[in-house]
Structure 1
Amino acid sequence: MPRRSRRRGDAARAHALCLCRILLEARPAGLHFPQLRAACELTPAQTRSGLAMLRDLITERGWPPLIYTRHEGYQFTADPVELEIYETARVRVLLTEVRRLVTGTIAPHATLAPDDKRIRHIVTQLNAVESTLDLIA
């Protein structure tokens, strides 16, 4: 099931289509955020909402995946090696975020409220997520 952007309006869709056009024109090179903003003449918020909507449109329309690298910026690619590198890097970021959430917030909360069923459930679920992400990374 495709995820739904919180920014679903017609403006976000128009920004996404503009970003898509610019990225396709730049192929095979990628563009960094300031370059995308300048090429589409969008504000930072409009560019971010356009990128969020673009990821939804990619899913809906079966377009090639959009990745971001520090070296190349945003770009469409179907190269399995580039996709695997990007996916592994993103999973590692998510794994770090989950671990910090567990160790910095959830575990101390669980210590304060050891009988709270909701907190025990959250700990169990996040431990499962952490294990899964760890296997992927």
Structure 2
Amino acid sequence: MPRASRRRGDAALRHADTLRFVLFEARPAGLLFHQLTRASDLTPSQARSGLAALRDVIADQGWPPLIWSRSDGYQIGAERAALEAYERKVIKEKLTEFRRFITGTVAPHAAAHPGDKWVRHITAQLNSIESTLDLVNSY
């Protein structure tokens, strides 16, 4: 199920359409953010809003995915190797983010309030997420 975006206004959808056109014109190469804003004639804020809306539109329409890499920038419809590298990078980032949240916020909360129903629940859920991401990351 596609996520709901707060950036679903008419302007964001127009910006998404502009960015999609620019990225399809650049294919198979990608565009760095500054190149994307220059080629689309959008402000950085409009481009960020358009990228968020574009991800939602892509998910709704079943179009080729939008990915980003430091070396190539934003790309639509990248090859399998680039898609896998992007997915691995995102999973690794999320795993690190969850681990820092668990050790920096949830664990101290659990130590301070060991009988709290909420903290027991959130600890169990986050440990499950961490375990799943770790399993996928090690594949």
Shorter chain as denominator, the TM-score bin is over 0.9
Distance in 1 (CA, whole Å) between partners of 2:55 and 2:92 is: 20
SS at match of 2:119: helix
Structure 1: state its 5+ residue gaps. none
Structure 2: state its 5+ residue gaps. none
Q: Which residue of 2 aligns with 1:21?
A: 21
Q: Which of 74-83 and 13-22 deviates more?
A: 74-83
Q: Which of 72-81 and 125-134 deviates more?
A: 72-81
Distance in 1 (CA, whole Å) between partners of 2:80 and 2:109 is: 41
Offset at residue 78 of structure 1 (A): 4.6
- RMSD of the alignment, in Å? 0.9
Q: Which residue of 1 aligns with 2:132?
A: 132
Question: What is the one-letter code of the residue matched to 1:46?
Answer: Q
Question: What is the one-letter code of the residue matched to 2:120?
Answer: R
List aligned pairs for 1:101-116, cutoff 5 A.
Answer: 101-116=101-116
Q: Percent identity?
A: 59
Question: What is the one-letter code of the residue matched to 1:135?
Answer: L
List aligned pairs for 1:32-47, cutoff 5 A.
Answer: 32-47=32-47
Q: Which residue of 1 aligns with 2:94?
A: 94
Q: How many residue pairs end up in the alignment?
A: 137
Q: Which residue of 2 aligns with 1:67?
A: 67
Q: Which of 88-97 and 2-11 deviates more?
A: 2-11
Q: Which residue of 1 aligns with 2:119?
A: 119
Contact 2:66-2:77 at 8 Å conserved across structures: yes
SS at match of 2:54: helix
Offset at residue 34 of structure 1 (A): 0.7
Contact 2:28-2:78 at 8 Å conserved across structures: no
Question: What is the one-letter code of the residue matched to 1:134?
Answer: D
Q: Which residue of 1 aligns with 2:85?
A: 85
